[in-house]
Structure 1
Amino acid sequence: MRQSSRITNVMSLLGGFVAVAMTMGVLGACLVLPAVGVAGQATNNGIRMFNQMPGDFAMNPLAQQSRILAADGSLIGTPFNENRIVVPLSKIAPVMRNAQIAIEDERFYEHGGVDAKGLLRAISSNVMSGGTQGASTLTQQYVKVALQNQALASGNKDAAAGQVTQQGMQGYVRKLQQLKYAVSLEQKYTKDQILDGYLNLVYFGDQQYGIEAASLHYFGKHASQLALPEAALLAGVVNAPGVTDPVNNPEAAVKRRNLVLTKMHQQGMISYADYNSASNSKLQLKLTNVSSSCASSPYPYFCYYVYDWLLEQPALGDTRKQREAKLKGGGLTIQTSFDPKIAKIIDKQIKAKVPVANPAGVQAAGIVVQPGTGLVLGSAQNTQYSNTGATGKSAINYTTPLSMGGGQGFTFGSTAKFFAVIDAVKNGWTYDSKIDVPPMNGVDKVGTFRKFTSKEFPGECGLGAETWRVGNSEEDAGSGQQSLVDVTAKSINVAFAQLVSQLGACNVRQTMIDFGLKAGDGSPINKTPSGIVLGSQAVTALDLANSYATIAADGKHCQPRPVKSIADANGKPLKLTGTECKQLVSPDVARTVTKIFESVLEPGGTASDAALAGKRPSAGKTGTVDTSTQTWFVGYTPQMATAVWVGHADNEKPLKNVRLAGKTYPGYLYGGTLAAPLWKSIMDEALKGQPVKQFGEPSDAAMKGEQVRVPNVVGQSPDNARTLLEAAGFEVKQGDAQDSRMFAGRIMGTSPRVGTKAPKGSTVTIFPSTGRAARAAAAAPRVAAPPVVKRTAATTKAPKPSATPSSTSAPKPSSSSKPPATPKATKPNNPSSTKNN
């Protein structure tokens, strides 16, 4: 009973086969049904079912590997789910096309999608055996594999499996559907188009999809270069890649190859001599493995940076999942700015001075950004890529943020002073503007310090109820009036704390944000004075290098990026985001800032030994974090901005008395000790052969500002003194009362001093008298109070600062600070003593 039912169902479907085949002119009178009784109604049912099946089938774009290229065109990485490289039929050797036709479908150019002779033979066999195999033309095979791919792409693994595993009734329905799609395909596309699609689609074993990827993998050559025995070998793999791929089953692969060669000879495609030579040739593989993982890239850290950056690009899809699918299957060509020569220079210089897995456990990294574009030219670090956690290995990119394969970043020390100077200069401070460096007012076991309170740092970016102890690492840093360029060259911490106090800590923080600086985890720079003044928050080398590159580019800020362009599989460019640039500060401001930071590399500066070869102009800043856990140098020329970090990735162990590459560095390591010389060696070699470009010259007004004489306010009340000074164009700050012979409450002096010239818009500090000295000198003549100055509309509003305060400390000199015996750490949210450079 079961057998009768099965035969009835089969014959219903066979009726459909017959009717459709005859309609298409495929079988005609050649088809002879088996001698089994078939009801006419069953045949009609089969025809009706066939007609109701979908018929339209299109050759959809194939998933293929994307390529990440370096600036010189070399390959960095190949993201893919299926290792496929789509090529046109013209790029596939004719011998390969013939080999595939010979073994899979010898009448390919004769049928219309269905091979009548093969179909008749298969029908007779399957009806008697109950199977559903055989008679598949190359076109039908294309349909089957394409349907599998579509099901897998949509996540339907059961449907994908069903294209090859369904038996019985379902198997015949599947075969009928594939047949109908094949006929439709033949009506829409040429034979060459179908063959092209087939050879680019099918699996050739050992994780290779499509003929180009397979040819490169097995023989190290393009599909257009395949020889006869190579083509026959690959054509033979397709039918059963699990048992005939030449890597895992070489004997079976050769046997199958020779079968293909026999077919080709029988069909007149090759001569007997060619057959004989090829069939007796030895299997000669030249395996080339291509990994979908950046871990196997020659530049794994940069590869992952590019990969993560691309996942943020809307052009690749609306969601991260869509973008990753496009990246791994879209056949994209990703052109990066990465210069392998520069990367190798960074790598060589870093590892020469800070060897991999050195006993001191010191890590180092460097990254180069191009001013004016934000393009990353190269990066390297002294670790091997690995997530095993072994010594000398790391999966963390020490130069990029957390979202781009990096970590939390590292505290950046005095490289933060760069932003305070930018903010000062854009608000009118000049090269020689004076800062009144306040004297030290405390001593602890570390050394002398200046204690700052909420009076100096009020408001949102202030200290609140906390106090902040700031010390200097420099000997004889001194107090009193010092120029902006001098305190920068010597990296005087107390001076910069005073400067930021005058500028407004929130204003300097905003400058940091404008220049693209942020924490390594992507959060904004915190609002603590220690973070704003002395870099106690962790940031990335990438953001630092790009911020400095902005000044190198005359104030033009571009977002940092590793990619120059992306093209889809057809060569059409895709629109990138994050390529915008804008002018943050004027060229005059940028050039003045550069002049100031050139002093760091000049005699007396903290990196005087890092001046570049050939008198090449350069500017930069050292950075050392308390207890020397992290050290930095960030510097630039007109062509390159480079950040170099040397430290401990665990952020715990001080860099003290370290021995690296056979050299001992006594005492604490500073930014000028190793990071700056490393920067110099990288820049000297990377710039070799490039023209020596000069920085632009700032205007005299930007360098000197409008100089105004400080009016005489001695003896005035604080209110009257403020009115007179504001009318002259100065900002006014009241300092601590000083002992003097002047009456209590009256102004006994200013800084800068009365009668001297200072930039208009800069700050003048006024000092009231305690009157104590006057009471002690009873015999001293009385000084009449000067007349009161009435406030008027013209005198109550001072011009906004367009130059910088020249001094802000009390006029009395104090002893200079000495370097501490041991640097003391500072917690950003609980400020204490901070000493770095």
Structure 2
Amino acid sequence: MVCAMDSDARGRGKAGAVRRLAGYSALAGLLSALLVLPLACVAGVGARDSAEWLLTEPVDLGDLTTPQRSTILAADGSSIATFYRQNRVDVPLEKVAPIAAKAVVAIEDARFYEHGALDLKGTMRALASNLDGSGASAPQGGSGITQQYVKNLLYVNAETDAERQDAVETTPGRKIRELRYAIAVEERFGKDEILEKYLNVAYFGDGAYGIEAASRRYFSIPAAKLSLGQAATLAGALKNGNQYNLRLNPEGAVNRRNTVLDRMAELGVIDTATAKAEKDKPLKIKITETKNGCTESRAAFFCDYVQREILTNKIFGKTPEERERLLWIGGLTIRTTLDWKTQKAAHKALLRHVPAKNDEGKAAAQVLVEPGTGEIKGMDVGRELGPNEQRGKTWINFAADADHGTSIGMAAGSTFKAFTLAAAFDQGMAIGDRITAPRGYAPTGFKDCKGKDVSDTKVLTNSSDGEGGRSFSLLTGSWHSVNTFFLLLEKKVGLCDTVKIAKKLGIKRADGKPLQEFASFTLGFNDVSPLRVAAAYAAFGARGKYCEPIAIKRINTSDGKSIPVPKAGCEQVIDKGVADAVNYVLSGVLTRGTGRGLGIGRPAAGKTGTVDNYSAAWFAGYTPQLASAVWVGDPRGGYKYPMTNTCLPTHCGGPVYGATIPGPIWQDTMAEALSGVEAGRFQRPPSFFFRKGSGEDEVKMPDLRGMSLDAAMQKLGAMGLDFKVGSHEYSDKYDEDQIVATDPSPGALIDPGDSGLTVVLTVSKGKDPTALPELPDPGWPEPQEEGAPWEIP
């Protein structure tokens, strides 16, 4: 085709006819454009080049794709959530029932397999029908399946309203552009491929794009199982997905279905009797709602975390727009780290202790991280993801940092003391090193990492779940969570060194700002997220190996290609022996410290955290296999709404400590999450850390004399004391196998945990059989004065 009329005058001579023809339909616009419009004027090219331009493949054809829905999967491959702008699931033609493909071809383009990009016979017939009024009450279209595919493809790739309007408006320019793409499509793909693409891009109404999504939406079956009646119904909806919506307009859908069946019979695809029988059947639909986004997910806050990871991390695109397109239309399969068993345990425990709609207005959050991998196994807030003004709902993910949930974080309280403890061990201090902790202390002489004095003249005291006024070791000071002890310990090891250890363990402020460095750093005034605390404690469980927490394991695009995802970057950040010493000390918190009674029947360690004025409470605990951090507080503001007289299902009246509600949440979660999992063990710290004893408070050596050897051994074992039998001796006082003596001797002060202490037992052999018998007293008188004679009776 060439431009035969280059002059304005000739162009104006055809203008009226063009306008009349264009007004009938898209078909009339196409034909009028092809036959009478100067291509050079429409395309902006010279007459000699117009035919070549029409037949040249558009450079962007390969970039045009149908928007695909992305799916987030748990570690076991089950679905967490789906994201889409258009509900579409692409399937190959072999996964579409053959009768469905035949129904679509019959009603949309019966000569599809016979013509090329343009069906001239159909176009001329439709034009004639429109011009003489004999065809139908409405103008007839002439676009075949290929052209309809192109129109749909251009529409779904439009970025703006103007581009979308341009993709569907009835103008000669649009029809010529559409034809140009159709020619290229016919050149590049076979007919079955084009039909497959059309079936996957077409709109079937009610938000269903593509035949697979439509089949699932209306009939709750895959497209491969469509029956004749179902296939005809969906094929009929292609003419106008909104007008023939099966759910909203069943009567119109049935009438259109019958039209399709008649057309199939007319073409010989089915016989007349079959068409009639099918037309007599009622329309039966079974709607399946396809969830979109995280709000209805069973793991809504974990889902939201993954979503924000993709939308904020530049590894997924340089701009926010690129990242958003990737998630919502990129057809991603996102495999995550979520373990349903752990997730369900966390959710159940949170709601048991802090119900979503509790009258106190309190909330709770928990994150569980796997030591040694950084994989987030569970994350929950114990509320529904939704508008904050609705009771029991929140958009804020209190478990994560601001960039992954809009939370600015919460003061972590005494959970930060573990970092000071680690810094002390890192500097070589022993478990038995002692500090006398006063009841009140004004922290002076502190400097931050820039050398600036950050002392405070305000006297800080011990919280109600701690104590002071005596000497504590690193062990007992941690068990009792003594504030003044840790302030003095932090001063001893250095504020900056404590901060550095915390940073090595991944601690960051939730709002993204640098950690604030003041004397009370060890008391946990910095606002952080449970995720960061859980990841830090997971490093203790992994013997000093810190892993950046990750939620995504891998991502594949719709064509199966993998794309990069954030890595955990695991690194040994503190010495294994240092971590072992921390684990040894914090294990006792669950048995003899502020977390007493929170054991889970396997080796575990943890730390309570009670924030000033009971504004929040925490518990961070871990085993070698799983670490968790739990926060309980008030989203309206902890200082304004403290937990001083809180009444919740498992605690009513009195203040809330770390062991009051957060601890039991942790205990319930861990017990269920780890059920059936073989228990791991912590490693005993190097003997170097016990060079000053175990750190336990001294006790008096019991008096074992006269006890049987078995009874004595049982008593010493119960006290955690090592012992050995030193010797067996004859004794006139104690029977055989009874204890004669001990070293240390009875009443001596001893350290039960001193690894260098071994009680030596001396055991009786009974009386000496070789000893001469005692002679009876002859009754001699007492001697007289010196020189005086004896008087013999």
Specify if TM > 0.5: yes
Partners of 2:180 and 2:612 in 1: CA distance: 76
User: Of the candidates 567, 570, 579, which is equivalent to residue 578 of structure 1?
Assistant: 567
* 1:452 maps to 2:438: no
Say which SS state the counterpart of residue 180 (structure 1) adopts: helix
User: Of the candidates 502, 508, 511, which is equivalent to residue 501 of structure 2?
Assistant: 511
Match of 1:482 in 2: 472
> Does the 8 A contact of 1:630 with 1:647 survive in 2?
yes
User: Of the candidates 577, 599, 603, which is equivalent to residue 588 of structure 1?
Assistant: 577
Say which SS state the counterpart of residue 608 (structure 1) adopts: coil
Amino acid at match of 2:56: G
> Does the 8 A contact of 2:220 with 2:286 survive in 1?
yes
Mark the CA change 1:456 to 1:518 in structure 2 (over 3 Å): closer, same or farther: closer
Mark the CA change 1:465 to 1:608 in structure 2 (over 3 Å): closer, same or farther: closer
After superposition, residues 589-668 of structure 1 pair within 5 angstroms as 589-603=578-592, 605-613=593-601, 616-649=602-635, 650-651=637-638, 652-661=640-649, 663-665=651-653, 667-668=654-655
Match of 2:774 in 1: none
Amino acid at match of 1:624: T
Mark the CA change 1:294 to 1:459 in structure 2 (over 3 Å): closer, same or farther: closer
Partners of 1:315 and 1:677 in 2: CA distance: 39
Amino acid at match of 1:587: K
Match of 1:84 in 2: 88
> Does the 8 A contact of 2:437 with 2:470 survive in 1?
yes
> Does the 8 A contact of 1:365 with 1:380 survive in 2?
yes
Q: Deviations over 1:672-730 (max 9, x none)?
A: 122112211111111111111112233223554899xxxxxxxxxxxxxxxxxxxxxxx
Say which SS state the counterpart of residue 671 (structure 1) adopts: coil
Return the offset for 1:370.
Answer: 0.9
Match of 1:236 in 2: 236
Match of 1:691 in 2: 678
User: Of the candidates 8, 14, 24, which is equivalent to residue 5 of structure 1?
Assistant: 14
* 1:553 maps to 2:539: no
Say which SS state the counterpart of residue 296 (structure 1) adopts: coil
Partners of 1:476 and 1:491 in 2: CA distance: 5
Return the offset for 1:565.
Answer: 1.1
Partners of 2:174 and 2:259 in 1: CA distance: 29
Match of 1:220 in 2: 220
Amino acid at match of 1:328: W
> Does the 8 A contact of 2:598 with 2:663 survive in 1?
yes
Partners of 1:342 and 1:144 in 2: CA distance: 48
After superposition, residues 509-548 of structure 1 pair within 5 angstroms as 509-530=499-520, 532-548=521-537
> Does the 8 A contact of 1:555 with 1:586 survive in 2?
yes
Amino acid at match of 1:676: G
Amino acid at match of 1:565: R
Amino acid at match of 1:213: A
Partners of 2:610 and 2:176 in 1: CA distance: 75
Partners of 1:46 and 1:228 in 2: CA distance: 50
* 1:678 maps to 2:677: no
Partners of 1:343 and 1:653 in 2: CA distance: 29
Unaligned runs of 5+ in 1: 14-20, 22-26, 28-32, 441-448, 708-837
> Does the 8 A contact of 2:107 with 2:260 survive in 1?
yes
Partners of 1:458 and 1:82 in 2: CA distance: 54
Match of 1:501 in 2: 491
Q: Deviations over 1:657-685 (max 9, x none)?
A: 322127423x3221112211221111111
Amino acid at match of 1:74: S
After superposition, residues 239-638 of structure 1 pair within 5 angstroms as 239-432=239-432, 434-440=433-439, 449-453=440-444, 455-457=445-447, 460=450, 464=454, 466-473=456-463, 477-479=467-469, 481-530=471-520, 532-603=521-592, 605-613=593-601, 616-638=602-624
> Does the 8 A contact of 2:443 with 2:519 survive in 1?
no
Mark the CA change 1:3 to 1:356 in structure 2 (over 3 Å): closer, same or farther: same
Number of aligned positions between the proteins: 664
Mark the CA change 1:258 to 1:10 in structure 2 (over 3 Å): closer, same or farther: same
Return the offset for 1:475.
Answer: 7.9
> Does the 8 A contact of 1:333 with 1:569 survive in 2?
yes
Partners of 1:459 and 1:373 in 2: CA distance: 30
Amino acid at match of 2:586: F
Aligned-residue RMSD, C-alpha: 3.2
Match of 2:151 in 1: 144
Mark the CA change 1:672 to 1:104 in structure 2 (over 3 Å): closer, same or farther: same
Return the offset for 1:420.
Answer: 0.6
Moved more, 59-68 or 687-696: 59-68
Q: Deviations over 1:508-567 (max 9, x none)?
A: 11211121111121212101122x110012110000001000110111111112111111
User: Of the candidates 110, 117, 122, which is equivalent to residue 114 of structure 2?
Assistant: 110
Match of 1:192 in 2: 192
Partners of 1:591 and 1:216 in 2: CA distance: 55
Amino acid at match of 2:443: F
Partners of 1:177 and 1:391 in 2: CA distance: 53
Mark the CA change 1:207 to 1:336 in structure 2 (over 3 Å): closer, same or farther: same
Amino acid at match of 1:452: P
Moved more, 87-96 or 58-67: 58-67
Partners of 2:46 and 2:307 in 1: CA distance: 54
Return the offset for 1:176.
Answer: 3.2
Mark the CA change 1:72 to 1:475 in structure 2 (over 3 Å): closer, same or farther: closer
After superposition, residues 197-216 of structure 1 pair within 5 angstroms as 197-216=197-216
Moved more, 262-271 or 60-69: 262-271
> Does the 8 A contact of 2:126 with 2:142 survive in 1?
yes
Partners of 2:564 and 2:165 in 1: CA distance: 38
> Does the 8 A contact of 1:656 with 1:669 survive in 2?
yes
Partners of 1:9 and 1:322 in 2: CA distance: 41
Return the offset for 1:8.
Answer: 6.8
Partners of 2:626 and 2:641 in 1: CA distance: 32
Match of 1:712 in 2: none
Return the offset for 1:388.
Answer: 4.2
Partners of 1:458 and 1:116 in 2: CA distance: 82
Q: Deviations over 1:168-199 (max 9, x none)?
A: xxx23433332333233212210111011101
Partners of 2:441 and 2:342 in 1: CA distance: 44
Moved more, 112-121 or 95-104: 112-121
- Name the TM-score, length of structure 1 as normaliser: 0.74
Say which SS state the counterpart of residue 174 (structure 1) adopts: helix
Percent pairwise identity: 35
Partners of 1:311 and 1:260 in 2: CA distance: 44
Moved more, 93-102 or 421-430: 421-430
Partners of 2:598 and 2:139 in 1: CA distance: 78
Mark the CA change 1:342 to 1:137 in structure 2 (over 3 Å): closer, same or farther: same
Return the offset for 1:88.
Answer: 1.4
Unaligned runs of 5+ in 2: 1-8, 23-29, 695-793
Amino acid at match of 2:102: N
Instruction: Answer 1 or 2: higher relative contact order, Cα 8 Å, separation at least 6.
Output: 1
> Does the 8 A contact of 1:474 with 1:490 survive in 2?
no
Q: Which has the larger radius of gyration?
A: 2
Amino acid at match of 2:628: T
Return the offset for 1:464.
Answer: 4.2
Say which SS state the counterpart of residue 379 (structure 1) adopts: strand
Return the offset for 1:581.
Answer: 1.1
> Does the 8 A contact of 1:370 with 1:376 survive in 2?
yes
Partners of 1:705 and 1:374 in 2: CA distance: 35
Return the offset for 1:299.
Answer: 2.4
> Does the 8 A contact of 1:460 with 1:527 survive in 2?
no
Moved more, 193-202 or 339-348: 339-348
